[in-house]
Amino acid sequence: MLAQSAPLVPLVTPSANDLLDLLPELIVGFGFIALMLLDLVVGRQRWWLAVAAIVFLAAGFGASVWGWFDSGNGHTLYFGSFAYDKFSMFINCVLLFSSALVILISPHYLNRRGIHHGEYYALILAATLGMMLLAGAMSLMVIFLGIEGLSLSLYILSGFSRTEERSQEAALKYLLLGGFASGFLLYGMALVYGETGHTQLQQIGAALHSTTQADPMLLAGVVLIFVGFAFKASLVPFHTWTPDVYQGAPTSVTTFMSVTTKVAAFAVIVRVFTYTFVSLYSHWEVIVAVVAIASIVVGNVAALTQTHVKRMLAYSSIAQAGYILIGVAVGTLSNTSSSITGTTGVLYYLAAYAVTQIGAFAVITIMAGRGEDLDSYDGLRGLAYRRPFVAAAMGLFLLSLGGFPPTVGFFGKFFVFAAAVNANLTLLALWGIAGSAISVFYYLRVALLMYQRPKDEQQEYPWSRTTIAGGTALLAAAAGTLVFGILVAVVFNGAQAAQNAILPAIASTR
């Protein structure tokens, strides 16, 4: 035993090129650590941290754009652990853009709430890094670590207001339920690993293709993995934490997590389910479709009765997740005559949802008062007379969420539903359309309230002034909502290219 023989498996060191291809993640990871150190230098001038964070995010965005053109048909890094493909770069761009907008609206909001600490920016970057890792993850281990990376950061961020009970409650609730969901996810991964003997998605896909039998243990693993992902994407019936956490967390954090978590979660759902478990499609299709319908129904119906914008948007985000899931339920089915596939729809919808939802939450964030969020329906009455531009922007975001043309939200819904119809899942599309019809009611209710004359006895809300940074973020989100709605082809072609280059490629394993 003591005399050592040669290693059991030849030790292959990863190539240096792999590290270079990981550039976007490296930049954001470096930024995360650098911001912690910068915090010691800047003292009270914490807005410097916001500037630095945006610089890092922009650099990461640039690296992702470069990676988009460089990756070509895509290849894996680190022995199949990570993907370097257009799909992950598309998701990276959406994530980094969203994070940068959130950073823009944060300093003013945090100051007013009295919770302007340097850790905030570092944790936002850490969460973004976790999501980027999730977007490119090609191994069950990296998926789990990515999910934990974003979750840990978000647990802390939800409880960022340490003196406020509601924020602490939100953090604890999220932590406990999130830990539970991670357990499900890990159990599912263990079962899938036990059945296929691999943690790398490509090899799992290949192992599944080479057999026709579907072992119950394997299916249990697949379902448990879906439960873990569905929790992060706040899909019914794993949504119960969503309204409380969204309401309790500081609004800038809510903005961040309502958008980016969903983007990352759907990226990994698409990669794992649509492309890795593709041979098991007939088994998981029904589950995914039922969860999608349940999310649409529950989210929309519950949103009807809300009286606060934050809670309404929380429930509406559940419904939005349901629409996106329709694109996953479509799988890789498509009429050959049509170019609109489920994955393209999902990608377009995610980009659309990101700009719109960030905008809607940003309005609440930048108007927040000292120590409280001023988001009750009654208080919003007559906003248009005091803040015409903010109200117009909010109206635009609500129309986009409701799916009115020519906003980006309309095309998101259109592509997802069209993909469902193409795959002969018309019933699923009809559920989505019915849900959108209900949603118009509560979106327009808020929009109309803003344009009503304020009541005489109505107490004037001490709304915060719009800062230059906040205004910029609103303008960027509004521009995204309108411009990408008019120049649909830009995002659509991007989504299609991303879908065509996604790893693990089905063709090579079949």
Indicate the residue type of 31.
Answer: G
Shortest separation between residue 295's beta carbon and another protein, angstroms: 29
Least gap, CB of 261 to another protein (angstroms): 15
Structure tokens belonging to residue 384: 């248009």
Measuring CA to CA, which residue among 64, 55, 52, 57 is closest to residue 21? 64
For the bound state, the minimum distance from the C-beta of residue 82 to another protein, rounded and expressed in Å, comes to 6
| Distances, alpha carbon 134 to alpha carbons 15, 109, 114, 169, 250, in Å | 22, 29, 32, 27, 24
Asked whether the beta carbons of 21 and 67 are under 8 A apart, the reply is yes
Give the residue with the Cβ less far from another protein, 133 or 267.
133
Binding site for another protein (CB under 8 A): 1, 4-9, 11-14, 29, 32-33, 36, 77-79, 81-82, 117, 119, 122-123, 126, 129, 133, 139, 141-142, 145-146, 148-149, 152-153, 155-156, 159, 162-163, 194-198, 207, 210-211
Taking the complex as a whole, the smallest distance from the CB of residue 76 to another protein amounts, in Å, to: 11
Comparing CB distances to another protein, the nearer of 33 and 290 is 33
Instruction: Supply φ then ψ for residue 82, to 5 degrees.
Output: -145, 150
Task: Please provide residue 116's backbone torsions phi and psi, each rounded to the nearest 5 degrees.
Answer: -85, 90
Closer by beta carbon to another protein, 210 or else 337: 210
Q: What's the CA dihedral at 448, 450, 455, 457 to 10 degrees?
A: 140
Shortest distance, position 83 Cβ to another protein, whole Å? 11
273, 141 contact by CB (below 8 A): no
Instruction: Give me the least distance between CB of 498 and another protein, in Å please.
Output: 22
Of 162 and 455, the one with the shorter C-beta distance to another protein is: 162
CB of 141 to another protein, least distance (A): 4
- Asked if 56 and 27 count as a contact pair (C-beta separation under 8 A), the reply is yes
Nearer to another protein, 36 or 506 (CB): 36
* C-beta of 195 vs 375, nearer to another protein: 195
Q: DSSP string of 369-423? A: -SSS---BHHHHTTHHHH-HHHHHHHHHHHHHHHT-TTSHHHHHHHHHHHHHHHT
Pick between residue 194 and residue 388 the one whose CB is nearest to another protein: 194
Q: Which of 306, 132, 123, 276 is CA-nearest to residue 198?
A: 276
